[in-house]
Amino acid sequence: LSVVERKDVLRNLLIDMNSILGTNVSTDIDFFYEQYGSRGQYSSLSNRVRINEYILTKDTSYELTQTIIHEMRHAYQHHSVKNDKSVLVSSQTIREWENNFNNYKNPSFGCTFEEYLSQPVEWDAKNFAMQFADIMGINPEYEGSWS
């Protein structure tokens, strides 16, 4: 797919994820360009997802799908913290997420990549994206050979 077509696919997936997760994230994805940096971000302040346009030409469709699902899970985490009585998440998990958001470790500000990945919200979003993709039959493309 072209970059424009990939953007459309990501917007449609975001719309579907809004419906599935009960979130209300803006369907206007903010695209930015960084050759080195994150694939994407969710901002609770603007209630928007940002996607690195650089990955639209470099990453596989599986990685792009994972990125949107991952960022939408962050939207759901924030939604759950704000609406703790209307979600099916334990109060303990909501407290962990809220504490993590208040003490978020960002590799851009001095933490290690391992510290970043081991945070409850990152661990949850990464695993949710992998499980959701698996359930939906979205599989990574095979790149390699045993021979």
8-28 confidence digits (pLDDT tens) = 999 999 999 999 999 999 999
Is 83 a residue whose pLDDT tops 60? yes
Read off the DSSP letter of residue 108: G
Contacts of 64 (CB under 8 A, 6+ apart): 6, 9, 10, 55, 56
Please state the pTM of the whole predicted model: 0.90
Query: 131 CB contacts (<8 Å, ≥6 apart)?
Result: none
Q: What is the pLDDT of residue 46?
A: 97
Q: How far apart are CA 30 and CA 40, in angstroms?
A: 9
The band of 131, judged by pLDDT with boundaries at 50, 70 and 90, is very high
pLDDT number for residue 146: 62
Distance CA 67, CA 75 (A): 13
- Reduced to 3 DSSP states, what percent helix, strand and coil does the chain have, rounded to the nearest 5? 55, 10, 35
- The beta-strand segments (E) located in 29-143 are 30-32, 40-43, 48-52
- At residue 142 the predicted structure's pLDDT band, cuts being 50, 70 and 90, is low
